[in-house]
């Protein structure tokens, strides 16, 4: 693993993060953005670093994972930055609706604690624009989800580039 | 030789079953409030699940299905993609002994989505959830088979070849 082989993933991951953050653009590619970024990373690597074909599953997964990782880092950063500036986000907007619905029910201890944690996050964001728990939460969830989709994108990219997949 | 084929078949069935379970869990996640309406767990975790699925979907209400008054957490096209993958992950456990197709099918699966997005964006015809769902269903099922085939071809077959030699 060297800098040259990470560069395509960095570029594609950054691109995916920008596209997921900009409102409206997500409507076009939806859940295909990260997989498409992984495919793009494989293409870029093939063009820039003259990678030999056929691409192996190992390198396809490598590019898929690192593209997802970079997409996660950048998209989390953009999300945190926008939240810091605006002091609000989708989560804050969805919480009052949840609170009003929850009032009708008797919650057990675990759900009560979960609700309290969510409220704490909302209070932090509304007062300072930043919540460490929220940041960790979105980084973790973005990482898991993007990794899955990135790995799938890597496998699809491998199929594309190898043309005949012998499957 | 018989043992070698048996081992490959067991590995493939296990892999396909794991895929089915994972996709099923994913689908339950985005439709939790619709499957279990009024569940307190679903209500409390709604902002969290919404945020998680928001990573991979725009979640616009006008493009989302409602089941029994509860909205799904992904749009109609994504619902189609995941449903297609779920159906074919189940079918793959019982059928499709060995998967084999060229790259053209993948292109063919992408074209309906591409044209639907372009045509609705240009206003040639209005967006409908049903068309979005069907195009997603076709794409999801084909993509699932490609990914499964690529993994089986590169991992399971290699592994069993090692046993065989």
Please name the residues between 29 and 58 in chain B that touch chain A, using a CB distance below 8 Å: 40-41, 43-48, 50-52, 54-58
Give chain A's residues under pLDDT 50: 164-167
User: Encoding tokens for residue A145?
Assistant: 């989800």
Percent of chain A at pLDDT > 90 equals: 26
Q: What is the pLDDT of residue A165?
A: 43
The tally of CA atoms less than 13 A away on the side-chain side of residue A6 is 7
- Residue B100's alpha-carbon distances to B3, B27, B60, B106, in angstroms, are 23, 27, 37, 12
Percent of chain A at pLDDT > 70 equals: 87
pLDDT digits (tens, 9 = 90+) for A50-73: 777 788 888 889 999 999 999 999
Q: Compute the count of residue pairs across chains A and B with CB atoms less than 8 Å apart.
A: 109
- Rounded CA gap, A75 and A17, in Å? 5
- Name every chain A residue with its beta carbon within 8 A of the beta carbon of B129: none
A134: preceding bond cis by omega (within 30 degrees)? no
Which helix or strand (DSSP H or E) is residue B131 part of?
helix B129-151
Each domain of chain B, given as residue ranges in start order, spans 2-164
- Name every chain B residue with its beta carbon within 8 A of the beta carbon of A145: 52, 55-56
Predicted TM-score (pTM) of this structure: 0.83
**Interface predicted TM-score (ipTM) over 0.90:** no
């Amino acid at each position: 693993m060297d800098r040259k082989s990470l560069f395509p993933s960095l570029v594609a991951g950054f691109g995916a993060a920008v596209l997921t953050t900009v409102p409206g653009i997500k409507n076009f590619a939806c859940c295909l953005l990260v997989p498409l970024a992984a495919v793009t990373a494989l293409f870029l690597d093939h063009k820039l670093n003259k990678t030999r074909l056929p691409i192996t599953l190992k390198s396809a997964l490598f590019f898929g994972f690192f593209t997802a990782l970079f997409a996660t880092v950048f998209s989390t950063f953009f999300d945190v930055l926008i939240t810091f500036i605006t002091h609000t986000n989708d989560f804050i907007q969805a919480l009052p609706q949840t609170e009003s619905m929850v009032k009708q029910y008797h919650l057990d201890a675990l759900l009560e604690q979960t609700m309290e944690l969510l409220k704490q996050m909302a209070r932090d964001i509304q007062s300072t624009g930043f919540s460490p728990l929220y940041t960790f939460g979105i980084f973790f969830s973005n990482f898991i989800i993007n990794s899955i989709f990135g790995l799938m994108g890597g496998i699809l990219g491998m199929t594309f580039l190898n043309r005949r997949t012998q499957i | 030789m018989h043992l070698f084929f048996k081992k490959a078949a067991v590995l493939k069935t296990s892999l396909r079953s794991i895929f089915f379970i994972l996709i099923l869990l994913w689908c339950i996640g985005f439709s939790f409030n619709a499957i279990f309406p009024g569940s307190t767990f679903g209500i409390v975790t709604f902002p969290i699940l919404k945020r998680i699925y928001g990573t991979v979907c725009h979640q616009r209400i006008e493009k989302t299905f409602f089941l029994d008054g509860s909205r799904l957490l992904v749009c109609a096209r994504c619902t189609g993609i995941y449903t297609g993958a779920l159906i074919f992950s189940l079918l793959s456990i019982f059928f499709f002994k060995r998967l084999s197709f060229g790259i053209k099918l993948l292109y063919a699966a992408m074209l309906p989505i591409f044209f639907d997005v372009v045509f609705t964006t240009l206003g040639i015809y209005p967006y409908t959830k049903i068309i979005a769902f069907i195009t997603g269903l076709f794409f999801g099922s084909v993509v699932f088979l490609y990914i499964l085939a690529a993994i089986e071809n590169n991992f399971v077959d290699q592994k069993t070849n090692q046993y065989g030699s």
